[in-house]
């Protein structure tokens, strides 16, 4: 959040956020602070940027909180008025895009006891997207919003200012993430099939019991299995064809010597880094296998390559 607070927006008598250039000068502006509800005056001099200022010299309100509430209420109003927003990608499976709404409901209360979201927006296909605004790590609700079974988007306003807020909400991809998206989650497998890729969405709790957990067949991202969160649970995308092939090799190993293999015998192992009973694969990024392995993973590793020992 910026520290040079320029209050270019304030709340009028009708509860709408208005820009300083659209109201009369001084106390005739008829505006209040949306947080402390103190009377504001509109300053429109020639030397400084036009802005609102609190009228009282001995006010007890915190300017930072007042600015946050002004931004929060303006963000709600922008989405309600423009009826659109820019959505981020969903784990790079569904790409970022603009979306338009047919109806937008806003709450308007900065602090409240319930679990209702800030914005409930409906699309023309009947789906709802609930939107939550945050400032850094602080969520203004006294109770966390229940986003289970909903399409919930969280937007962090900490790095914004009132003058740039509209462009940020309508055009930017930054500082926003999906807390949940039921529509996208239920279309993952179908989307991969359309690209001739067979995957299955598997709970991580099940992956942890998989005999191939140390030679994972999951879709990878930045060298690690892609993890998708939905309804507070974590999932991986298992490449089913690769999984079936590796399971077959596990049940019917082609190499008679496989049961005697150890990562310590493999040329990719980092001998100098072995500790705690784990082997370090020196080519883990290129080979797409875990970096820290129990040495028994070599029993079923297709990439095992025995060292040549010279005496």
CB 49 within 8 A of CB 57: no
Q: What are the sequence ranges of the domains in the chain? A: 9-66, 77-185, 187-252, 257-311
Residue 310 sits at the vertex; the CA angle it makes with 285 and 277, to the nearest 5 degrees, is 45
Taking residues 95-107, report their average pLDDT.
Answer: 94
Query: Rg (Cα) of the chain, in Å, rounded?
Result: 28
Q: What is the pLDDT of residue 151?
A: 94
Work out the mean pLDDT of the chain and round it to a whole number: 85
Q: What is the pLDDT of residue 251?
A: 61
d(CA 184, CA 94): 7
pLDDT digits (tens, 9 = 90+) for 232-282: 899 999 999 988 887 776 666 555 555 578 888 887 888 777 777 788 887
pLDDT digits (tens, 9 = 90+) for 188-206: 999 999 999 999 999 999 9
pLDDT digits (tens, 9 = 90+) for 47-68: 788 999 998 766 666 888 899 9
CB 231 within 8 A of CB 148: yes
Taking residues 9-25, report their average pLDDT.
Answer: 96
Q: What is the pLDDT of residue 33?
A: 94
Taking residues 174-194, report their average pLDDT.
Answer: 96
Of the candidate ranges 93-107, 122-136, 247-261, 275-289, the one whose mean pLDDT is the lowest: 247-261
Q: What is the pLDDT of residue 58?
A: 60
Instruction: Give the up-direction half-sphere exposure of residue 153: CA atoms within 13 A in the CB hemisphere.
Output: 24
Q: What is the pLDDT of residue 9?
A: 97
Transcribe 22-52 into DSSP letters.
GS-SBGGG--B-TTT--BEEEE--SSS--EE
Taking residues 183-189, report their average pLDDT.
Answer: 97
Q: What is the pLDDT of residue 1?
A: 42
Distances (CA, A) of 220 to 25, 120, 207: 59, 34, 14
Q: What is the pLDDT of residue 213?
A: 73
CB 55 within 8 A of CB 10: no
Transcribe 178-220 into DSSP letters.
EEE-HHHHTTHHHHHHHTT--EEEEEHHHHTT-TTTTS--BPE
Q: What is the pLDDT of residue 218?
A: 93
d(CA 94, CA 22): 40
Q: What is the pLDDT of residue 172?
A: 96
Residue 156 has pLDDT above 70, yes or no: yes
When pLDDT is cut at 50, 70 and 90, the band that residue 2 belongs to is very low
Of the candidate ranges 137-146, 147-156, 260-269, the one whose mean pLDDT is the lowest: 137-146
Taking residues 75-84, report their average pLDDT.
Answer: 97
Using the 8-state DSSP alphabet, how is residue 256 labeled?
A: T
């Amino acid at each position: 959040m910026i520290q040079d607070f320029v209050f270019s927006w304030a709340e009028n008598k009708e509860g709408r956020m208005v820009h300083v250039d659209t109201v009369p000068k001084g106390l005739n502006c008829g505006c209040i602070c949306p947080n402390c509800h103190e009377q504001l005056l509109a300053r429109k001099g020639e030397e400084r940027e036009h802005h609102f200022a609190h009228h009282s010299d001995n006010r007890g309100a915190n300017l930072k909180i007042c600015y946050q509430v002004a931004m929060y209420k303006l963000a709600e109003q922008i989405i309600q008025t423009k009826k659109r927003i820019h959505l981020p990608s969903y784990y790079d499976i569904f790409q970022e895009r603009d979306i338009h709404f047919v109806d937008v409901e806003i709450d308007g209360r900065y602090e409240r006891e319930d679990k209702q979201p800030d914005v409930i927006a409906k699309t023309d296909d009947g789906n709802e997207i609930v939107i939550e605004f945050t400032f850094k790590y602080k969520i203004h609700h006294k109770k966390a919003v229940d986003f289970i079974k909903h399409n919930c988007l969280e937007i962090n306003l900490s790095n914004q200012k009132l003058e740039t807020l509209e462009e940020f909400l309508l055009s930017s991809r930054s500082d926003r993430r999906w807390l949940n998206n039921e529509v996208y989650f239920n279309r993952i497998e179908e989307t991969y099939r359309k690209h001739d890729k067979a995957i299955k969405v598997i709970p991580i709790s099940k992956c942890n019991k998989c005999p191939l957990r140390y030679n994972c067949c999951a879709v990878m991202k930045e060298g690690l299995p892609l993890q998708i969160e939905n309804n507070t649970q974590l999932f991986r995308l298992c490449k089913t064809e690769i999984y079936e092939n590796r399971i077959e090799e596990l049940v019917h190993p082609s190499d008679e010597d496989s049961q005697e293999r150890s990562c310590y015998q493999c040329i990719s192992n980092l001998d100098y880094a072995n500790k705690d009973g784990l082997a370090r694969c020196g080519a883990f990024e290129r080979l797409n296998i875990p970096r820290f392995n129990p040495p028994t993973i070599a029993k079923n590793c297709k990439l095992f390559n025995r060292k040549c020992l010279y005496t």
